[in-house]
Chains A and B, each alone.
Chain A
């Protein structure tokens, strides 16, 4: 207990403790780069690694771990439908400045028992603790809309929470699988691994992941974004050609 306390203090102070070397996390990932090509139908990341204890002293208790994979934060507007004059139309809206396009957390135990609320908020461990930066002051409304957003993104597979789904071997090795759906946004991702003891983060490691379109898909996407006019012209010419050729084939028959 005292040793752990020293360790925490050393980590908070940010100075390497001379007497006790800190716990280290060694981590790797099955793919540092996910290429979206024409056959892409989602992917599965394997995040794995080992906990390096000072002087190899492996504790008897099972370590607490959380693995968070997150995508680029995006500004979004969430709208809610309500019944107006018999039909359902969008009425209220809340703007969120930093909603992650992808967020998956896997933990070794239920989140509530693993971390205290403050730690969860600092490191954004768990869907309840995401910092979405809503731009509304109405707390009741923000709470309702946040629930709606979490529910929506959860069902699309873009946000997920897998409590107790980190596999741990001999209290040293850990591994978790993170599912990436096909509708995932492209960009710079990170995989963060947190070692948690008594509700506090005592060690962390991070690995970058790049998700990007590749090959023909990328070429099409870049062309559409950078040279809109040329892309549109090519689309029109291709459509005209296809229609013309189809007409020729039909006439011959």
Chain B
């Protein structure tokens, strides 16, 4: 059952890794998110070096997003123009992110930064999602019609060079999605996440995109940016473990199918509530970890 990982340089129980991939795949199939925000912390918890966990998780997300993106593509659910802007932003963000990552690594503050950003992001997104799903459930219980999803943000509306994104049904400055893509790219490189869990809400609530093209376009961005991330990590830090990513993918593919089936039996609002609770749970667990006295006060850095 043990398998030696050539880049992580330790042996693991491959069933545990496949199982971990399946668990994350199940959640991603069920909730329509990539699940990188779970893969990376779980791998680190299992003992994989953080840098290897982040890089290999990005590679796994590329593979996990393909079938979904193709399915949306066939249904015409990908806004290519919007996708291109998001990808361009993502590349810039990924490039900046890898510089920032190396700098923080040198300072020895990479782990704490990763944890803090996770707590902030997961806490915020989870909290917003919880609020939204609880409000919607209350309204439906009262028989009122659901709240309007499309929001008009004055800050975004003030940005110059407005252009029309036909498929998304919006007329906005490309700077807004470019910036969004850049932030997500930064997170992909440093945290090993696809970033769907912030991109999707931002596309709906901030950009006001029509929901039909949101998921497809977000997956389109994720494929390109995670692929670029794999390349960056391969060239810079040699931390992509192909075997680890492969094991995660095998589990992920199986888990995703089960997740999609499970999701069909639950109403979307309950799914969002479930996802919100998971996000808050992970954030809470990480926050406790930051505040408690760690089991190991010392940690070794290097050799590069």
A binding-site residues for B, Cβ under 8 Å: 36-42, 74-83, 86-90, 93, 145, 148-149, 151-153, 182-183, 185-186, 213, 216-218, 220-221, 224-225, 228-229, 231-236, 238-240, 242-244, 246-247, 250
Q: With contacts defined as CB atoms under 8 Å apart, how many contacts are there between chain A and chain B in the complex?
A: 172
Whether A78 and B112, one on each chain, are in contact in the complex, defined by CB atoms closer than 8 angstroms, is no
Is residue B65 within 8 Å, beta carbon to beta carbon, of the partner chain? yes
Of all chain A residues, which has the CB nearest B109? A90
Is residue B230 within 8 Å, beta carbon to beta carbon, of the partner chain? yes
Within the complex, what minimum Cβ distance (angstroms) separates B196 from chain A?
15
Closest 10 CB pairs of A and B: A232-B234, A243-B66, A247-B67, A239-B63, A148-B298, A243-B63, A232-B231, A182-B11, A246-B253, A228-B235
Residues on B with C-beta less than 8 A from A246 are 63, 66-67, 253
Whether B6 and A217, one on each chain, are in contact in the complex, defined by CB atoms closer than 8 angstroms, is yes
Whether B235 and A232, one on each chain, are in contact in the complex, defined by CB atoms closer than 8 angstroms, is yes
- State which residues 1-34 of B face A: CB under 8 Å: 2-4, 6-7, 9-11
Residues on B with C-beta less than 8 A from A239 are 59-60, 62-63, 66, 227, 230, 245, 249
Partner of A40, one of B4, B108, B298, B303: B4
Whether A218 and B238, one on each chain, are in contact in the complex, defined by CB atoms closer than 8 angstroms, is no
Known: A76-B300, A79-B108. A232 touches B230 (CB 8 A): yes
Chain B interface, DSSP helix/strand/loop, else mixed: helix
Of B124-132, B205-213, B286-294, the one contacting chain A is B286-294
Known: A86-B291, A90-B112. A243 touches B249 (CB 8 A): yes
Known: A77-B302, A182-B10. A240 touches B291 (CB 8 A): no
Tally of chain B residues near chain A (CB < 8 A): 55
CA distance A148 to B70 in the complex (A): 52
CA distance A224 to B237 in the complex (A): 9
Is residue B64 within 8 Å, beta carbon to beta carbon, of the partner chain? yes
Of all chain A residues, which has the CB nearest B236? A228
Whether A247 and B71, one on each chain, are in contact in the complex, defined by CB atoms closer than 8 angstroms, is yes
Q: Quick one: CB contact mask for B98-137 with A, threshold 8 Å, 1 for yes? A: 0000000000110110001000000000000000000000
Whether A78 and B234, one on each chain, are in contact in the complex, defined by CB atoms closer than 8 angstroms, is no
Residues on B with C-beta less than 8 A from A231 are 234, 238, 240, 242
Whether B233 and A232, one on each chain, are in contact in the complex, defined by CB atoms closer than 8 angstroms, is yes
Whether A217 and B297, one on each chain, are in contact in the complex, defined by CB atoms closer than 8 angstroms, is no
Partner of A74, one of B9, B71, B235, B302: B302
Partner of B6, one of A41, A220, A243: A220
Whether A243 and B234, one on each chain, are in contact in the complex, defined by CB atoms closer than 8 angstroms, is no
Residues on A with C-beta less than 8 A from B302 are 74-77
Q: Quick one: CB contact mask for B190-229 with A, threshold 8 Å, 1 for yes? A: 0000000000000000000000000000000001000100
Whether B11 and A40, one on each chain, are in contact in the complex, defined by CB atoms closer than 8 angstroms, is yes
Of all chain B residues, which has the CB nearest A246? B253
Within the complex, what minimum Cβ distance (angstroms) separates B287 from chain A?
9
Residues on B with C-beta less than 8 A from A232 are 230-235, 240
Whether B246 and A242, one on each chain, are in contact in the complex, defined by CB atoms closer than 8 angstroms, is yes
Within the complex, what minimum Cβ distance (angstroms) separates A13 from chain B?
39
Within the complex, what minimum Cβ distance (angstroms) separates A111 from chain B?
24
CA distance A217 to B4 in the complex (A): 8
Within the complex, what minimum Cβ distance (angstroms) separates B286 from chain A?
11
Whether B298 and A236, one on each chain, are in contact in the complex, defined by CB atoms closer than 8 angstroms, is no
Known: A39-B2, A79-B301, A148-B297. A233 touches B242 (CB 8 A): no
Interface core residue of A79, A234, A250 (most chain B CB under 10 Å)? A79
Q: Quick one: CB contact mask for B43-87 with A, threshold 8 Å, 1 for yes? A: 000000000000000011011111110110000000000000000
Whether B298 and A240, one on each chain, are in contact in the complex, defined by CB atoms closer than 8 angstroms, is no
Within the complex, what minimum Cβ distance (angstroms) separates A80 from chain B?
5
Residues on A with C-beta less than 8 A from B234 are 224, 228-229, 231-232, 235
Whether A244 and B300, one on each chain, are in contact in the complex, defined by CB atoms closer than 8 angstroms, is no
| 21 A/B residue pairs, CB under 8 Å, sorted by A | A39-B3, A76-B303, A77-B300, A78-B301, A79-B298, A79-B299, A86-B291, A90-B112, A149-B300, A182-B2, A183-B9, A213-B6, A217-B4, A221-B7, A224-B242, A231-B242, A232-B231, A238-B242, A243-B66, A246-B63, A246-B67
Residues on A with C-beta less than 8 A from B173 are none
Of all chain B residues, which has the CB nearest A42? B11
Residues on B with C-beta less than 8 A from A86 are 291
CA distance A30 to B230 in the complex (A): 41
Residues on A with C-beta less than 8 A from B64 are 243
CA distance A231 to B231 in the complex (A): 8
